[in-house]
Amino acid sequence: MNDFHLAQVNVGRILAPLDSPQLADFVAQLPEINALADHAPGFVWRMVDDGGADATGLRPEDEDDLLLFNCSVWESVDALKAYVYRSDHLRVMARRREWFERLADHHMALWWVPAGHRPGVAEAMDRVALLRAKGSTPEAFTFRAPHPPPTGKAS
Amino acid sequence: MSSDDAALDALAVLGDPVRRSLYRHVAAAPGDVTRDAAADAVGVTRAVAAFHLDKLVDAGLLETTFRRLSGRTGPGSGRPSKLYRRADGEYAVSVPPRAYDTVSQLLAEVVERAGLDTELQAAARAAGEAAGVADPVVALRERGYEPYWDCGKLRLRNCPFHALAEQFPALVCGMNLAGIEGLLGEGWSAAMDPLPEGCCVAIEGPEGVGEV
């Protein structure tokens, strides 16, 4: 049993408001994709807004109403990877440019948290900033350059 | 030994026609293959199949597992059978040396950074359409996808873009889906439906095609 879990944050700037026709397909798929995450092997937790269904009500930067944010916790890098790239989630990923702006810098960060810890918005955004400033380190890393959990056990 | 030499050695093992047939059969099979099944498929004796299959294992082209096919365990359930499947490693050789993998990686990096997913998908779809394919199953097989029918759906056991897809999943899998859509004729449809292994696309044919 690993004492550390993998936290994940992802920010994305939508091309139009969530209630616009352009985003309709994306919004329509959210319940299904979130349910898929909830039942995926190795899923631990995901952040939800006051609505309780997803995180689309959260804005990590007050002045930017198009910047969406999601954050979740997984048992391992492999578990998250399997959900992101080897499930129906990939179907949504392949259409990302229909809905999301291209972000010039890192928009996803991974880091290890003690099992049971639930990251907040500020903590998650700090990890994105850290990754942008320093590149992949044990404090904030990417799928391409992963770091093992602090115990040193393989993920 | 350079990696080029290692790849040439591995591929030289496929020079034997019987061995090549065995490799193709195992590589394209949806599950693990027994010696007997491989021998039957290729039309050689069990001993000949065993000899060549083990050469392919030595060369790193196939790998083996052992499993009791009866499904029973414990005493009296018989010896586990040796099963063959394609190994994960991939070998690319060009003579004289060329480095298209480096080029594709750099280009993918740039396309990813520029956010050109939609443009890449359009180009892939157009290339598929331009191929003017008569039989999609044959066309996919020729392109290395190793198609097989599974419950009325055409599944693809191999991803021809595997290494690049691992690095740029959204970009490359999106391109791949669009390319396949372009290849398919009237009445066929493709959708992203990833399994743990193989290509992430599943295909449905016109009514009646692929049903057993």
Evaluate if residue A64 carries a pLDDT over 60.
yes
Q: What DSSP string describes B96-141?
A: S---HHHHHHHHHHHHHHHT-HHHHHHHHHHHHHHT--S-HHHHHH
B169-183 helix and B100-114 helix, angle to the nearest 10 degrees: 100
- Cα–Cα nearest to A74, from A113, A32, A107, A48: A113
CB contact under 8 A, A96 and B196: no
CB atoms within 10 A of CB B103: 10
| pTM as predicted | 0.85
Tokens 């004289």 -> residue: B96
Is residue A39 very low, low, confident or very high in pLDDT (cuts 50, 70, 90)? Answer: very high
A153, pLDDT greater than 60: no
Q: How far does A50 lie from chain B, in Å, by closest CA? A: 30
Residue of A nearest to B112 (CA): A102
* A interface test, pick of B192, B193, B197, B201 with most A CB neighbours within 10 Å: B192
B173 CB within 8 Å of a chain A CB: yes
The reply to whether B195 touches chain A by the CB within 8 Å rule is yes
- Fill in the amino acid letter for B174: G
From the CA of B162, how many Å to the nearest CA of chain A?
13
- Average the pLDDT over B202-207 and give the result: 92
Is the predicted ipTM greater than 0.90, yes or no?
no
Q: Kindly state the tokens that stand for B161.
A: 């873009």
N-terminal to C-terminal alpha carbon distance within chain B: 49
> B147-150 and B153-156 as β-strands: parallel, antiparallel, unpaired?
antiparallel
- Rounded to whole angstroms, how far apart are CA atoms A40 and A3? 20
Please tell me the number of Cα atoms within 13 Å of B15 on its side-chain side: 6
Mean of the pLDDT values across residues B51-59? 95
Q: Looking at residues B81-92, what average pLDDT do you find?
A: 91
Which strands form B153-156's sheet, in the order they lie side by side? B147-150, B153-156, B201-204, B189-192
> Residue B89 — very low, low, confident or very high, per pLDDT cuts 50/70/90?
confident
Q: What is the mean pLDDT of residues B137-158?
A: 94
3-state helix, strand, coil in chain B (%, to 5): 50, 15, 35
In eight-state DSSP terms, residue A99 is H
